[in-house]
Copies of this chain bind each other. A is one copy, B any other.
Amino acid sequence: MKSGLSFLVAARRCEIDELDQLARTGELVGAIGRLVHALQRERGLSNVLLGSQGTRFAAQRSAQIGECIRLEQDVRAGFERLRVEGRRLGSGTRLFSRIAWVLPGLDALPVLRRRIASLEIETGDATAALAKLIAGLLAVVFEAADGATDPEISRLLAAMFNFMQGKEFAGQERACGAAAFAAGLNDGTRQQQWLQLIAAQERCFHVFTEFAGPALAGLWRDSEPTGEIAELERLRRAAITAAPGAALDTELSTVWFDCCSLRIDAMKAIEERLADDLRALCDRKIAEARAEADTNQALLDRLADATEPPVATAFFDEVAQQPPTVKAYGHQLERSVLDMLQEQSQRLQAMSEELDAVRAGLNERKLVERAKGLLMAHRRMTEQEAHAMLRQVAMNQNRRLVDVAESVLSMADFLPGSN
Q: Tally A residues with Cβ within 8 Å of B.
A: 88
Q: Are B319 and A100 in contact (CB under 8 A)?
A: no
The one of B104, B132, B314 that contacts A108, using a Cβ cutoff of 8 Å: B314
A87 within 8 A of B: yes
Q: Are A111 and B326 in contact (CB under 8 A)?
A: yes
Q: Return A209 CB to nearest CB of chain B, in Å.
A: 22
The one of B107, B121, B125, B373 that contacts A315, using a Cβ cutoff of 8 Å: B107
Interfacial residues of chain A within 330-346, with CB under 8 A of chain B in the complex? 334, 337-338, 341-342, 344-346
- Dominant SS among interface residues on chain A: helix
CB-CB under 8 A from A18, the residues of chain B are 92-93
> A203 to B145, alpha carbons, bound, how many Å?
34
Q: Are B341 and A100 in contact (CB under 8 A)?
A: yes
Q: Are B104 and A14 in contact (CB under 8 A)?
A: no
A361 within 8 A of B: no
Q: Are B320 and A97 in contact (CB under 8 A)?
A: no
Q: Are B382 and A107 in contact (CB under 8 A)?
A: no
Most interface-central of A103, A149, A316, A356 (chain B CB within 10 A): A316
The one of B13, B104, B311 that contacts A338, using a Cβ cutoff of 8 Å: B104
A126 within 8 A of B: yes
Write the chain B residue with the least CB distance to A319.
B128
Q: Return A80 CB to nearest CB of chain B, in Å.
A: 8
User: Which of A2-10, A36-44, A171-179 forms part of the interface with chain B?
Assistant: A2-10
Interfacial residues of chain A within 301-355, with CB under 8 A of chain B in the complex? 311-316, 318-321, 323, 326, 334, 337-338, 341-342, 344-346, 348-350, 352-353
Given the known A-B contacts A94-B348, A344-B100, A348-B97, are A105 and B6 also in contact in the complex, defined by CB atoms under 8 Å? no
Contact mask A166-199 → B, CB, 8 Å, 1/0? 0000000000000000000000000000000000
Q: Are B125 and A320 in contact (CB under 8 A)?
A: yes
Q: Are A320 and B126 in contact (CB under 8 A)?
A: yes
Most interface-central of A7, A13, A321, A373 (chain B CB within 10 A): A7
> A410 to B231, alpha carbons, bound, how many Å?
45
Q: Return A392 CB to nearest CB of chain B, in Å.
A: 18
Q: Are A4 and B103 in contact (CB under 8 A)?
A: yes
Contact mask A103-136 → B, CB, 8 Å, 1/0? 1110110011001000011100110110111000
Q: Are A101 and B366 in contact (CB under 8 A)?
A: no
Contact mask A125-161 → B, CB, 8 Å, 1/0? 1101101110000000000000001000000000000
